[in-house]
Chain A
């Protein structure tokens, strides 16, 4: 029997009911796809922000124990100039490695001559910073969020960039002088003057009043460690290679006699992980609700269809259709209904996505220093997953009424009014 043809005709028997069920599936699919597309965009943006905007790179290398004990015994865990050079030499020609950049972070007090406050400074070479930030934003985002991207001046290493809040707090403007006070590696006090070369937005309300970026040589001078670094940042050409490269580089460094700890950008970005977990939870919640609605709609629709067509089922059984054939017929109907529903949902998704993306809607997320655009991606993997799951669940929802119908005695079915 041409089950598909019969199933398709079956759907047209009660067009209103089929359309209502189809719309429930379509809007459910669209809701899931749009939310998945939105979270995909958020994850993607946050990943780029972490890797490129926050200058985390893909991998961060430090001496084993640095993350736990580094503050207590900085000398022990500091990478010396020759170690930095050897490791850089070892890694920079590896496949997928775009950049190996030594980094030095320190904290202390910053003063405008009248008042002072705490600062956290990130030392990085201007060239490395430029390369790290290259893929931080799309061309469209660069136009909207230009203040996130700032460059260090390679000619004037005494120049530094201050976060908006920090500069504002001390009334510091471009070209103003400020003094930094910090400990050296050996615990002595050291001070240096810097020139404010500009301000930038960290994107995070918590760090926007204390963060500074300065050249690696400036932080090395302040920390009194010539050529030293507390860690190395590795930038890869492909984010998907992060885990594989961690393993590979770990082995390579081990073989060369370096006992190093390698952490990925995801391990270092707590905020990314927290947001990811939260959105995953919301996605699961929405997905469960939508699936329940779909199951109930399909089960209700197919249940009514089966009752209405009891006599036809009796006739088909009488003329030679096996019980399994009856189940196949109704599950095929449900399969087609769910497939058509998902297809309609895809069109709704595309239309709504287009509307949202051209509307230039923005919002300020929690803990963010500035608004971010509300954009929706087309998340193919989630879309396919949703399609498969909805079709499977929709088909299963028809299975029970179909099975019940197939088990009915033929003479009872034929006598059904």
Chain B
């Protein structure tokens, strides 16, 4: 791990240690991640980039605790996640990690506000405070006027902003965004990255996202290039 990356706090928010992830395609084993080690510190705005099939999404899934490595350790906020059972892992994820997906993944029958409320209500936050907190998140992403609109009435950029609001509503320590701009035009892509950047600065939330678009890398503090399941470069830009 590069020495310059340990610049914020002694305990990283997330530590990947010797991560291997192997998938079986028929009888062929595919090594999606090959001994990846990485520390991510609180407040970082980090992009993972690389060609298709380089292991970006696999790494995001493991960072987001929605997939388990074949071997290796994932430490989150000083805690080894290997000992957690499925329910504990789910609760941990619900409280600590927000997700932004490439395809937005909003619930089509819920309004923008209800979509943002959803993770809060899953956590057991009652209706009224959940509504208030979701409204704040919607205001932060500039979509308060669309609170009653269902996803099919929103543009792609607006949907992704709702998804960002949903990810931020639970006040997570880390937001994972896997190709958040892949389905957006360049103007909306820039808007979404700017928004994530603003949230990172305003709230101190750590953002890790993947992208194909090299133009978006100009906005990040740190960029990690993955190739064939290995970290080829880990560069601090800010």
Interface positions of A (Cβ within 8 A of B): 1-2, 6, 9-10, 12-13, 311-312, 314-325, 409-411, 414
Contact = CB atoms under 8 A, between A and B. Distances in A.
Residue in A12, A314, A320, A321 whose Cβ sees the most chain B Cβ within 10 Å: A320
Contacts of A319: 93-94, 98-99, 118-119, 122, 166, 170
Contacts of B51: none
A320 B105 contact: no
B110 A317 contact: no
A2 B122 contact: no
Contact of B109 (A10, A315, A320): A10
A2 to B, nearest CB: 6
Contacts of B103: 311
A361 B95 CA distance: 66
Contacts of B86: 322-323
B101 A316 contact: no
Contacts of B98: 319
Interface string B104-139: 010111100000001101110001000000000000
Interface of B: 61, 64, 66-67, 86-87, 90-91, 93-95, 98-99, 101, 103, 105, 107-110, 118-119, 121-123, 127, 166, 170
B122 A1 contact: yes
Given A9-B107, A312-B107, A323-B86, 9 more contacts: A1-B122, A311-B103, A312-B105, A319-B122, A319-B166, A320-B122, A323-B87, A323-B90, A414-B101
Residue in A2, A319, A325 whose Cβ sees the most chain B Cβ within 10 Å: A319
B90 A411 contact: no
A2 B90 contact: no
Contacts of B99: 315, 318-319
8 contacts: A2-B121, A315-B101, A317-B90, A319-B93, A319-B119, A319-B170, A320-B170, A322-B91
B61 to A, nearest CB: 5
A321 B107 CA distance: 14
A12 B64 CA distance: 32
Contacts of A321: 90, 94, 122
Given A2-B127, A414-B105, A318 B64 contact: yes
A-B CB proximity, top 4 nearest: A320-B94, A9-B109, A315-B105, A1-B121
B66 A12 contact: no
A319 B106 CA distance: 11
B174 to A, nearest CB: 13
Nearest to B98: A319
A12 B119 contact: no
Contacts of A318: 64, 66, 93, 99
A325 B109 contact: no
Nearest to B125: A1
Contacts of A311: 103, 105
A13 B66 contact: no
A315 B95 CA distance: 15
Contacts of A12: 109
Contacts of A316: 118, 122
B130 to A, nearest CB: 9
A219 B222 CA distance: 114
A321 B108 CA distance: 17
Nearest to A315: B105
B67 A320 contact: no
B107 A410 contact: no
B150 to A, nearest CB: 10
A404 to B, nearest CB: 15
A319 B94 CA distance: 5
A322 B108 contact: no
A303 B107 CA distance: 19
A414 B170 CA distance: 21
Contacts of B170: 319-320
Contacts of A9: 107, 109-110
Contacts of B110: 6, 9
Contacts of A410: 66-67
A320 B127 contact: no
B163 to A, nearest CB: 10
A232 B101 CA distance: 85
Contacts of A315: 99, 101, 105, 107
A192 B217 CA distance: 121
A322 B119 contact: no
A414 B66 CA distance: 10
A411 B66 contact: yes
Nearest to A312: B107
B66 A1 contact: no
Residue in B98, B107, B110, B166 whose Cβ sees the most chain A Cβ within 10 Å: B107
Contacts of B121: 1-2
Contact of A320 (B93, B101, B107): B93
Nearest to A9: B109
A322 B91 CA distance: 8
A172 to B, nearest CB: 79
Contacts of B94: 319-321
A1 B118 contact: yes
B109 A13 contact: yes
A372 to B, nearest CB: 52
Given A319-B166, A321-B122, A409 B90 contact: no
B127 to A, nearest CB: 7
Contacts of B119: 319-320
